[in-house]
Amino acid sequence: MKNITLNIDKVTGFVSREQILALEPQVKRAQQALEEGTLPGNDFLGWLHLPSSITKEHIEELKATAQTLRENCEVVVVAGIGGSYLGARAVIEALSNNFAALLGDNNGPRVIFAGHNISEDYLFELTEYLKGKKFGVINISKSGTTTETALAFRLLKKQCEEQRGKETASKVIVAITDAVKGAARITADKEGYKSFIIPDNVGGRFSVLTPVGLLPIAVAGFDIEALVNGACDMEKNCAPEVPFEENIAAMYAATRNALYADGKKIEILVNYQPKLHFTSEWWKQLYGESEGKENKGIFPASVDFTTDLHSMGQWIQEGERTIFETVLSIEKPNSSLTVPSDEENLDGLNFLAGKHVDEVNKMAELGTQLAHVDGGVPNIRISIPELNAYYIGQLLYFFEIGCGISGYILGVNPFNQPGVEAYKKNMFALLDKPGYEEESKAIRARL
């Protein structure tokens, strides 16, 4: 089995290899702090050795629950937001057919998402779509009290019970939440839902390899064992005892910190496969919520190429030189399609005849890399041998451990998110939530 690889050759014209390697002591300190739990955030390190601690029995239990949902539902709605949503969506989209939503095949239920916005139109259209359908729900919330998710779940629970009866509904609603606290736990216990626990020491954005990600991925019909195996192999490949220069997560963390110190404040995650759009969304949350604090942190952005070369390409080529790119490059496509020859050649594309479409994509990728480097944009390249569950598992763990190391190099606690409370406090005050009377008065005085 091959591995994901990291190439920083196109960075060293901006920061030297020596500058990156000089960060080894900080990397070692970060790795040691993660292993020994000696820095702030040490109560949220359950993800660190999670892949290697997942048992066969746990996988079997997840697969059995997934099978129940697959057998009894045409649609499964996954309700969750942030870390309780993005990992599952990232993996499902990466592994699904681009046109899965239109195919309507009979390969298990359609998995759709809710609870990640408060759009009346979205929720109305969702309830309309679900009318008359045999649907189930996976309600995911670690706190069990997140407004977006709780609101969607209230609607979905009611509709499911009305359409399928309370008894059947209780068999096709699954909760993934805290072991004891929160409204989602109280409801699950009262209604007798099958439930899974999100470990206390795993934060939302690091929870994709818990049931939060694994159950929806299994319901969508993908191989969670292969995903976990990939993560497990990456856990070994990125262990602290692996020499710095061979440890791709350590090198990634060091490289991005060296670039940040050199004034590169924005990292753009680039893909050349539309299926990776939500992988970028997951990555943005992972790095943004982990590092953006104390007025520090690289801003994580993303683009889908070549699509966005026709929109953001101009900015990247010639805008303010505060960016670097990290490219996710899939070495081998899963399908085969060549450009046909055309006798008339009206479009002038016969020079491509016989070539694989992927070869054209790869030349776009190479040409873009060189152009952007020429334009002053350092380029990190992550090569993924193939888009399958095993390599996605490798990629997820690579980014998680890279994030833990990087956050500690930066000098922040990568495992809290105090900043996300501010909007909630204002929203609750504006909605007159009981307990927010003083805040309500204060905020209204500002309007």
The catalytic residue positions are 289, 310, 424
Q: Is 210 one of the binding residues for ligand PA5 (CB under 6 A)?
A: no
Least gap, CB of 177 to ligand PA5 (angstroms): 8
Q: Is 185 one of the binding residues for ligand PA5 (CB under 6 A)?
A: no
Q: Select 208 or 250, whichever has its Cβ closest to ligand PA5.
A: 208
Site string for ligand PA5, 283-302 (x = CB under 6 A): ------x-------------
Q: Is 82 one of the binding residues for ligand PA5 (CB under 6 A)?
A: yes
Site for ligand PA5 in 20-39 (CB under 6 A): none
Distances (CA, A) of 437 to 28, 148, 431, 433: 48, 21, 10, 8
Q: Which residue has the tokens 């939500």?
A: 278
Distances (CA, A) of 275 to 143, 169, 330: 30, 32, 11
Angle formed by the axes of helices 211-219 and 86-95, nearest 10°: 30
Instruction: Among 108, 204, 213, 402, indicate the residue that binds ligand PA5 (CB under 6 A).
Output: 204
* DSSP per-residue letters across 340-388: PP-SS-TTS-GGGTTSBHHHHHHHHHHHHHHHHHHTT--EEEEEEEESS
Tokens found for residue 294 = 């104390």
Least gap, CB of 412 to ligand PA5 (angstroms): 15
Least gap, CB of 341 to ligand PA5 (angstroms): 50
Q: Select 117 or 361, whichever has its Cβ closest to ligand PA5.
A: 117
Rounded CA gap, 125 and 142, in Å? Answer: 26
Site for ligand PA5 in 377-436 (CB under 6 A): 417
Least gap, CB of 265 to ligand PA5 (angstroms): 22
Q: Is 203 one of the binding residues for ligand PA5 (CB under 6 A)?
A: yes
112 Cβ contact list (under 8 Å, min separation 6) = 75, 76, 77, 78, 126
Q: Is 146 one of the binding residues for ligand PA5 (CB under 6 A)?
A: yes
Q: Is 187 one of the binding residues for ligand PA5 (CB under 6 A)?
A: no
Q: Given the rule CB under 6 A, which of 136-144, 216-224, 361-369, 379-387 is the region that contacts ligand PA5? A: 136-144
Distances (CA, A) of 220 to 57, 70, 125, 174, 247: 20, 8, 22, 15, 32
- Quick one: DSSP state of residue 107? S
The footprint of ligand PA5 (CB under 6 A) covers: 81-84, 141-143, 146, 149, 203-205, 289, 417
